[in-house]
Chain A
Amino acid sequence: MKYFNAALPCFALGFASLLLLSTSETRAFSLNGGSLGLTQRDVRVFNNFTNPEANDNQTPHPQFPGAQGAVMAIWKSAVEWGSMPHGDGTGDPTQPVLGSGGANFDFSFQGEATEVGGIDDNIHSVISGSNGGVLAFTELPISNGWRTRYYDVWTWEDGPGAIAVGYDIQSAATFAHGSALGIAQSSDPNATMRGIITPTSTSLRSIEADDIAAIQTIYGVAGPSKPVINGIVIANGQITVLGSGFDPSGNEVWFTQASAGGDGTPVKVTDLESNGDSVAAMIPANAGPGDVLVRRNGTSFGSLSNAWPTDLMDTGNTCPTPVSYCTAQANSVGPGAQIGSVGLASLSVNGFSLTCTGLPANVPGIFFYGDAQTNTPFGDGTQCVSLTIRRLGVRFADGAGAVSQTLDFASPPLDSGGGAAFPGGTKNFQFWYRDVAGGPSGFNLSDGLSVNFCN
């Protein structure tokens, strides 16, 4: 009996030890119990680094447009935790691809801040003085955000290549972002979140298998429900984001702010329709070079896409701008309904939408099109489209009297036969709508829109 009493705790201890040691082989990370929601994806930099080495990289990089020096280094560290390669994945000569997280998480780079900010403002900055052997730290309210500080006493370097003296900003920031994400520490000597930093080392820039397992544990593995961006087209002040997993309506496109400051909230265009593979939006005046992301409906971690870099400059697509013609007649709410468009009339991009405004609220109507133009009284308005008329289905105006419809060039009637759109070809569009109070016929039409398609 005495033997049994003595053996039991030993067995228990041995079993517990084996469990722990076994666990450490497959999961060396530990978590601090928090996570960053969709409102806490922003990253900003208050660039108050004082030593010149921290900002001597003045070479622009196409994957990090608009940023240089410490700001670019910290941006790189953020995208390394992203769900997939950031743009083409280049930018860091010490690793083949930036963007290794594979989780339902992506940061939204929001440029420069103009102050240190509070403990939950998601800003990197330098703090004066020294704190013994502490190089940097991250303050963690967690769900409300974070703040990272770098002690000014150390020599900081922005890379992008080897570090000659001092400490690598990008490495420290990669670690800091791991802390902000909710990862506490790893016992894996190869993990970035093991993170004992040595001078001139760049080894912590790249997250490793244990770090990836940690972020995927917190946010889930990036799956089919997470929208994906794989390209963009910009022309005529509009951006068309290409990818997959976008919702039919209610999408948002997030931009980096154009100017320093702000509160970290991305510049957003909301309520965007999509055919699932593309989202088009007018580029807001306060958006600047940086990243775009698409948020579909939903609040889950995976509702936000990967981040895609862009300088917001015209990408060179030569699709002509659609041209309005004909004249709308007055209706019950104003001078008449106006047809318009969003996105490129590009068959390969396949992200072109028709819009119509100035309608009575909530009325039904139909976008239709044909090969020829006319100017014929019809109902209480004017018919602007003729020859073979093809209808695109009933739509209802919203409460503000607006309606839109995304065209799918890969589906009937636009993909084949006489209704097919083809590069260099032109179709004429118009919107027919009910307006019982607007005149004796009870229906009216918008003006016309001539659309010349490109590849």
Chain B
Amino acid sequence: MCPFSTQLYLSQVMKNPSRFKPVLALAVLCWTTTWTSAQIERLNLEQMVAKSDDAILGEIVKSEVIRIDHPIDGPELYYTHLTVKGRSLVDGKAQTTVVTFAGGFVDSEHGVWNSEAPSTEDTKIGNEVVAFYAHTSNMGGGLAANALYAAHGGLYRTVEGRMGKVVLGRGDGYAIAENLKLPTLDERITSIQQASRREGGAK
């Protein structure tokens, strides 16, 4: 069973068979991770850009899971910190950012699967991703962090195509619904930012 984004991607491959290398398509076929569901906000790209602090394009270079036991929010709160090294899609500057989502395992026996977390395939070290994030002073259990905005809905993998990098969309309701060439995403985010500034809403 392929996740929705993979099916969308395959549809695009079928309509434009010459645009992508077969090997890329086969690689995407194998990118099947299903541990995501959705109790997240329905967001388009404009809304995601407006609500998040930034979007980073980069490589996941580190992954760490922490456990918090909180007197009010409860025991065994697990959070995963992903360190992403790359550049901002908003201003283009180089940055290394730690983004955080709920869920994860500190070892093979201690941790939780979180229904909204990105899949383990999506969060592998070495993956190149686009991550939207926003700082929050309390993600639960008093943890202040750059929350991966909308959890799995804020993380999008890239793949290399013949025409350049492609950001894999997740389907209707997600900020990046369909697969986008990376320059197209760059342009759209810049355009959204410029429009926001014209309206006096720049961050």
Cβ contacts B124-155/A at 8 Å (1 or 0 each): 00000000011011111111000111110110
Q: Using a Cβ–Cβ cut-off of 8 Å, how many residues does chain A contribute to the interface with B?
A: 57
Contact status of A30 and B133, CB under 8 A, knowing A127-B74, A134-B40, A139-B113 = no
Q: Which residues of B contact A116 (CB under 8 A)?
A: 72-75
Q: Is B194 positioned at the interface, with any CB of A under 8 Å from its CB?
A: no
Whether B35 pairs with A32 at a CB distance below 8 angstroms is yes
Q: Is B1 positioned at the interface, with any CB of A under 8 Å from its CB?
A: yes
Interface residues of A in 328-360 (CB under 8 A from B): none
Q: Is A138 positioned at the interface, with any CB of B under 8 Å from its CB?
A: yes
Residues in A lying within 8 Å of B, measured CB to CB: 9-10, 12-14, 16-17, 20-21, 23-24, 27, 29-32, 115-119, 125, 127-142, 147, 149, 151, 172, 175-176, 178-179, 183-185, 187, 189, 193-198
Say how far A80's CB is from chain B's closest CB, in angstroms. Answer: 16
Q: Which residues of A contact B113 (CB under 8 A)?
A: 32, 139-142
Residues in B lying within 8 Å of A, measured CB to CB: 1-4, 6-7, 10-11, 13-14, 17, 22-23, 25-26, 29, 34-43, 48, 51-52, 72-76, 101-103, 112-117, 133-134, 136-143, 147-151, 153-154, 171-174
Whether B10 pairs with A17 at a CB distance below 8 angstroms is yes
Could you pull out 29 A-B pairs where Cβ atoms are within 8 angstroms? A13-B13, A17-B29, A20-B6, A20-B7, A21-B11, A27-B1, A31-B34, A116-B74, A127-B73, A129-B140, A131-B136, A131-B139, A132-B151, A132-B154, A133-B48, A133-B150, A137-B39, A137-B102, A137-B114, A137-B151, A138-B115, A139-B103, A139-B113, A147-B74, A176-B115, A183-B37, A187-B4, A193-B37, A197-B42
Q: Which residues of A contact B39 (CB under 8 A)?
A: 134-138, 172, 175-176, 195, 197
Shortest Cβ distance from B138 into A: residue: A129
Say how far A75's CB is from chain B's closest CB, in angstroms. Answer: 19
CA distance A193 to B36 in the complex (A): 10
CA distance A151 to B40 in the complex (A): 11
Of A10, A176, A184, A196, which one neighbours B173 at CB under 8 angstroms?
A: A196
Q: Which residues of A contact B134 (CB under 8 A)?
A: 132
Per CB-CB distance, the 7 closest pairs between chain A and chain B, nearest first, are A129-B138, A133-B150, A116-B74, A196-B173, A132-B149, A133-B41, A30-B34
Say how far A354's CB is from chain B's closest CB, in angstroms. Answer: 50
Whether B3 pairs with A187 at a CB distance below 8 angstroms is yes
Say how far B144's CB is from chain A's closest CB, in angstroms. Answer: 9
CA distance A95 to B73 in the complex (A): 34
Whether B133 pairs with A132 at a CB distance below 8 angstroms is yes
CA distance A178 to B39 in the complex (A): 11
Q: Which residues of A contact B172 (CB under 8 A)?
A: 189, 196
Contact status of A140 and B34, CB under 8 A, knowing A13-B22, A131-B136 = no
Name the residue in B29, B113, B174 with the highest tally of chain A Cβ atoms < 10 Å from its Cβ. B113
